[in-house]
Amino acid sequence: MSDLYTDPLGTATLAAKKISELTGKNSHHVALVMGSGWISAADSLGTPTHEFAATDVPGFLPPTVVGHGGVIRSYDLVGPSGPIHALVFLGRTHLYEGKGIEPVVHGVRTAVKAGCKVVVLTNACGGINRGYTVGQPVLIRDHISLTGVSPLIGADFVDVTDLYSKRIRAIVKKEDPSLSEGVYVHWRGPAYETPAEISMMRTMGADLVGMSTVPEAIAAHALGAEVLGISLVTNAAAGVTGEKLSHEEVIAAGKAAAGRMGELLGKVLPQL
């Protein structure tokens, strides 16, 4: 096994150093993980100063899913007091790929080691809440983990009461007061849920379901970063409408909402 599995934090430190060499920037300020459907939203952030394959950086695996990028970009955003260095990951590794939890959280650990104090996690997900419509962005207020898998090992008893930063959610809602907040369930996949499982999740208090974000939020928070999670509802969860779920539908809904999402991120990121 590679260093990533025996020494995940050491590998993240190496990766951060490599990013600093590739970009010529000593540190980055905010990180943005773009999930499936969000990749085109990154284009609204302007022109990156640097772009490279994630596999050029220690510890990153090649992407395995259509529409999940495997690319890292560095942007200089215009902040209130000088340029903000934003590190943007197009695509992520998921638990369902079967590579373990370490590759899943390697991006956010690398980002924190690169200096990021804020980590923005985006995803495409199924809507459990009957009030949601396809193409709607929802801020993650809290989560339920149904995978039982943590990125943390050992007696690392971190408090996760305010995992999805209230401070940052307030900033985003000031930009867009129409945004809803919801509880996101992490489901391992790769099979979607049955209608009975969705009904269970709704009873538990869940609004959104997806196959990412939760381990990254925990890993970033455990290293001291503030986390913002935004889900794009790209399909009604199983049994909600009677329609079947398709990956193509997800990609299409993401493309359709990308403009609004990119604009929102562009406004919010420099304020974080």
Residues serving a catalytic function are 36, 68, 94, 96-97, 124, 211-212, 235, 247
Give the residue with the Cβ less far from ligand 8IG, 83 or 135.
135
Rounded-to-integer distance, Cα 19 and Cα 51, Å: 10
**Residue 20 token pair:** 């600093």
Say if residue 190 is preceded by a cis peptide, omega within 30 of 0.
yes
Taking Cα atoms as reference points, which of 81, 69, 80 lies closest to residue 32?
A: 69
The answer to whether 111 and 19 are in contact (CB under 8 A) is no
Neighbours of 17 (CB within 10 A): 15
In this structure, what is the dihedral angle of CA atoms 111, 51, 212, 55, given to the nearest 10 degrees? -90
Runs of H (alpha helix) within the chain: 3-6, 8-23, 102-113, 166-175, 195-204, 214-222, 247-268
Q: Considering the complex, what minimum distance in angstroms separates the CB of residue 253 from ligand 8IG?
A: 8
Rounded Cα gap, residues 101 and 57, in angstroms = 18
Helix ranges (DSSP H) in 25-162: 102-113
Show the 3-state SS of 60-82. Answer: CCCCCCCCCCCEEEEEEEEECCE
Residue 164 gets which letter from DSSP?
Answer: B
What are the residues facing 14 on neighbouring strands? Answer: none
Q: Pick between residue 65 and residue 77 the one whose CB is nearest to ligand 8IG.
A: 65
Shortest gap between Cβ of 90 and ligand 8IG (angstroms)? 16
Contacting residues toward ligand 8IG, per CB under 6 A: 124-126, 187, 189, 192-193, 209-211, 234-235, 237, 245, 250
Q: How far is the CB of 197 from ligand 8IG (least distance, A)?
A: 9
The residue nearest ligand 8IG at its CB is 126
From the CB of 42, what's the least distance to ligand 8IG, in Å?
A: 17
